[in-house]
Amino acid sequence: MRSRVVAELVALFAPPACAACRTPLDDPREPVCPTCRRDLPWLRGALCPRCGLPAPCAPCPAARAAFDRAWAPMAYAGPARALVTALKFGGALALANLMSAQMAAAAPADLLGDRPAGTAALVPVPAHPAHTRHRGFDQAEQLARALANRTGLPLNACLSRGGHDERQLGKTRSARLRHGARAIQATGPVPPHPILVDDVHTTGATLDAAAQALRRAGASRVAAVTYARTPRH
């Protein structure tokens, strides 16, 4: 108890630090220092609309994915990678706001723009329940919520993920992927054009499993928006 009070007092009086590099901030209203902001690895060139990698991506890793479209504003590197980690473990709302602002500002106009009411909604990729319990914070949901506030698109947390990841230990990768696909399910009505939201697009296997669940529940077109995209493996 006493140590918690001390920790809170230290946090109160310590100068606010950059969420990416931890140097003290001159302007405590900004979660990220000017150097990290300048060094953010924006994906500025032409991107493959299917997989989000710099074009040309052939062979496209998303050619057979259940999502039609994937996009991220940042490469998963440098300060962008540090911000993803900070969001995962720190859970600052100011950080989710900043990251969603960067996503909304750079997104192609037809991805997060106006749609006929009731057709599109932001759907957070569900975290593994054990992870959410452990951290008490779901970064995909925080990003989706901040993005909904910013774009006016509705938030629809219609997917959930079962547990039992420990049973996957020792299984082959394809068996794990099949299990992952089954483990994500729609738990409520699904919009016709869902936009999946997550922090990082790595292999695309989780986005594919989530998109499959949305299609099984009746979605006709699925897009995926993440803060960062890893380079091709």
Whole-number minimum distance, CB 69 to Zn ion, in Å?
10
The span of 46-54, 98-106, 159-167, 188-196 binding Zn ion (CB under 5 A) equals: 46-54
Least Å distance, CB 78 to Zn ion, is: 10
* β pairing state of 223-229 and 193-201: parallel
Query: Of the candidates 40, 43, 47, 48, which one interacts with Zn ion according to CB under 5 A?
Result: 48
Residue 218's alpha-carbon distances to 34, 62, 189, 193, in angstroms, are 45, 20, 9, 10
Residue closer to Zn ion (CB basis): 50 or 229: 50
Q: Residue 228 has which token pair?
A: 């960062």
Greatest CA separation for the chain: 58
Please give the DSSP secondary-structure letter assigned to residue 139: H
Per DSSP, the three-state class of 177 is: helix
Q: How far is the CB of 99 from Zn ion (least distance, A)?
A: 14
**If binding is defined by CB under 5 A, does position 43 make contact with Zn ion?**
no
Of residues 17 and 217, the one with the C-beta less far from Zn ion: 17
Q: State which of residues 16, 17, 21, 149 lies at the interface with Zn ion (CB under 5 A).
A: 21
Q: Which is nearer to Zn ion, 68 or 165 (CB)?
A: 68
* Side chain identity at residue 14, one-letter code: A
Which SS3 state, helix, strand or coil, does residue 211 take?
helix
Q: Which of 17, 57, 94, 155 binds Zn ion (CB under 5 A)?
A: 57
- The CA R_g of the chain, rounded to the nearest whole Å, is 18
Point out which residues bind Zn ion (CB under 5 A). Answer: 18, 20-21, 33, 36, 48, 50-51, 57, 60
